[in-house]
């Protein structure tokens, strides 16, 4: 099969897969305080269905997948699923995004199953603030998960920090300190609005440019050439640091022109852009007897519908028109 190229000449080789809409935390920018109404299990893609979609996608030259949620580690038998995915020829990388709370228990089994690397979402290094932003989470357990991932060899371990003005902007130097003492890669991510929690997006937004200015006090930020293909992050080294510092700027400096990804939601809908409501229901198609060639055609249809850019920079106050929860789409 021919590889996936969208209308704007972008090659699509990356699929993000949400395996669950459930989560053990209630982060303020991801989920309302009462949580969400979780979908019944029969509405969630089975591992067999996901495997089939990935198998077809890889034949279209998708060569990288990322497992997300919700919190993917709440789903039973995830390591076995990853072990099965690893058997797909030409699938070059399997990565995982997690909040880290359950990672200590699973890091070594995930590595043994074939997981290549892990990203850990971590928005405060102050226990009280961590509990506040996650609505009850344990910072100690998340940090134990990070150490377990390092010990298991899930390299590189990336730490994703969503920048929030007045909440964690005072911790930017502390987060960078993780990369000074350990071979971890800290990524500062601009907050993208999701209409949740009753918070003012305009007041919370803290740009990566502001974060970078704060980090200049640690020494020269030396740019690293991207040797691994397309990346959303601009990555830097600081002399004497074991890890790196990166900035992901979807609002102030969007990277849509090089976007190479599709998103598969836990209920089987394929989306070409996080901030577009257009989706194609692959689960329904399979239920109705779609062949592998039919699925390939639907994947191509999703790629053809991929917009040139999101609307975060043009919507009023940077706020998109669509309401959604990240845990329902996949972080």
Domain ranges of the chain: 14-329
- How far is Cα 204 from Cα 193, in angstroms, rounded to an integer? 9
CATH dotted code for 14-329: 3.20.20.70
Distance in angstroms (rounded) separating the CA atoms of residues 119 and 96: 6
Q: What is the mean pLDDT of residues 107-111?
A: 98
∠ at Cα 331 (175, 150), nearest 5°? 45
> pLDDT digit string (tens) for 16-45?
999 999 999 988 888 777 766 778 889 999
What pLDDT, on the 0 to 100 scale, is given for residue 300? Answer: 98
Please tell me the predicted confidence (pLDDT) of residue 230.
Answer: 57
- Average pLDDT over every residue of 87-111: 98
Q: What is the pLDDT of residue 149?
A: 98
* CA-based radius of gyration for the chain: 19
pLDDT > 70 fraction of the chain, expressed in percent and rounded: 89
pLDDT level of residue 231 (50, 70, 90 thresholds): confident
pLDDT grade for 276, boundaries at 50, 70 and 90: confident
Q: Per-residue pLDDT tens for 127-159?
A: 999 999 999 999 999 999 999 999 999 999 999
Q: What percent of the chain has pLDDT over 90?
A: 78
Instruction: Kindly state the average pLDDT of the residues 88-98.
Output: 98
The reported pLDDT for the residue numbered 219 is 95
Check pLDDT > 90 for residue 260. yes
């Amino acid at each position: 099969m021919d590889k996936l190229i969208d209308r704007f000449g972008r090659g699509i080789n990356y699929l993000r897969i949400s395996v669950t809409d459930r989560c053990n935390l209630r982060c303020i920018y991801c989920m309302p305080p009462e949580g969400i109404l979780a979908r019944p299990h029969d509405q969630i893609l089975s591992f067999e269905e996901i495997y089939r979609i990935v198998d077809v996608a890889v034949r279209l030259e998708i060569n990288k997948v990322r497992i997300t949620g919700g919190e993917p580690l709440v789903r039973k038998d995830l390591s076995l699923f990853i072990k099965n995915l690893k058997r797909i020829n030409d699938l070059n990388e399997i990565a995982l995004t997690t909040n880290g709370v359950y990672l200590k228990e699973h890091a070594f089994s995930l590595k043994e199953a074939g997981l290549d690397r892990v990203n850990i979402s971590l928005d405060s290094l102050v226990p009280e603030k961590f509990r506040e932003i996650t609505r009850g989470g344990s910072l100690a357990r998340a940090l134990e998960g990070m150490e377990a991932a390092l010990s298991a060899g899930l390299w590189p371990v990336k730490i994703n920090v969503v920048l929030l003005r007045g909440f964690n902007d005072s911790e930017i130097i502390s987060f960078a300190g993780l990369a000074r003492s350990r071979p971890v890669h800290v990524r500062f991510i601009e907050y993208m609005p999701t209409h949740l929690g009753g918070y003012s997006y305009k007041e919370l937004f803290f740009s990566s440019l502001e974060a970078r200015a704060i980090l200049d006090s640690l020494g020269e930020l030396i740019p690293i050439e991207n040797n691994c293909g397309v990346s959303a992050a601009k990555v830097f080294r600081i002399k004497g640091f074991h890890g790196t510092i990166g900035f992901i700027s979807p609002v102030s400096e969007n990277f849509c022109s090089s976007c190479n990804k599709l998103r598969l939601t836990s209920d089987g809908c394929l989306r070409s852009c996080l901030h577009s409501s257009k989706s194609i229901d692959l689960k329904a198609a399979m239920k109705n007897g779609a062949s592998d060639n039919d699925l390939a055609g639907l994947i191509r249809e999703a790629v053809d519908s991929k917009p040139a850019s999101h609307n975060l920079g043009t919507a009023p106050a940077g706020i998109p028109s669509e309401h959604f929860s990240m845990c329902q789409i996949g972080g």
